[in-house]
Amino acid sequence: MSKNCEIVKDLLPLYADEVCTEESRKLVAEHIAHCSECRAELEKMGKHISVKAETDVNVMKRIRKRMRIEKITVGLISLAVVLGIGIFALLYMVNTLGPMDVLQMSIGEDVRAEVDENGDLTLILKDYAATEDYLMPILSDENGKHMGIDKDFDASKKEGFGVSLMQRKINSFAAFETYDSMDRKIDVFNVNEAEIDRFFIYDEKNNKEYTLWERD
């Protein structure tokens, strides 16, 4: 029992009869709000006191705690959504191929074709030009109209064989080289055997054609 309790217990009979001074009344009221022992003592005197004030404080505390938990939950969900979108966007940019913008990437000097002593025409790609493994083969007719390998084309009309370079979305976005951007050599065809007179790179983005090899 604290010293306060002793003082309060002395005051309790006066408090119960409502004859104590305003100062004493405040002191007792404040004390019994958090001292169950003195509160019990007062109740024994037949005075039922209200503990509403304390209850209100507890309710407020509980509401505040719940609001804090809700705020944290909403924050975590938002973070997860933002992270999810970010990861999805990154994966999309890494995995999705589009036609390479030859002009924007200025890869002109990074693309060459060579014919070796056996007559094999080899496509040599460096730096950005070698960013992605995927080459889209293209044939053109005598009017220079391009016919993709998947599209219906008249093989007898073939005049040139070309490839369209692909790149990841992230390369066009951030213009950095991804892990597979090593220099690459690709055997395209044997010029002695092929009926093709020309080999070119086709830039779908700018609708431009760059001749790499032509039959003499």
Judged by beta carbon, residue 4 or residue 192, the one nearer Zn ion is: 4
How long is the chain?
216
Shortest distance, CB of residue 27 to Zn ion, whole angstroms? 11
Euclidean distance between CA atoms 123 and 138, whole angstroms: 14
Distance CA 187, CA 125 (A): 11
Q: For residues 41 and 159, which CB has a smaller minimum distance to Zn ion in the complex?
A: 41
C-beta of 30 vs 214, nearer to Zn ion: 30
Which residue shows structure tokens 């979305």?
169
**Least distance between Zn ion and beta carbon 54 (Å):** 14
- DSSP string across 9-47: HHHHHHHHTT-S-HHHHHHHHHHHHH-HHHHHHHHHTT-
Smallest gap from residue 4 Cβ to Zn ion (A):
6
Select 35 or 139, whichever has its Cβ closest to Zn ion: 35
Kindly state the smallest distance separating residue 66's Cβ from Zn ion, in Å.
31
By beta-carbon distance, which residue lies closest to Zn ion? 5
Contact (CB, 8 A) for 164 and 204: yes
Residues at the contact surface with Zn ion, assessed by CB under 5 A: 5, 35, 38
Indicate the residue among 10 and 180 with the shorter CB distance to Zn ion.
10
122 with 186: CB under 8 angstroms?
A: yes
Among 12, 18, 60, 59, CA closest to 35: 12
How far apart, in whole angstroms, are the C-alpha atoms of residue 122 and residue 114?
5
CB of 35 to Zn ion, least distance (A): 3
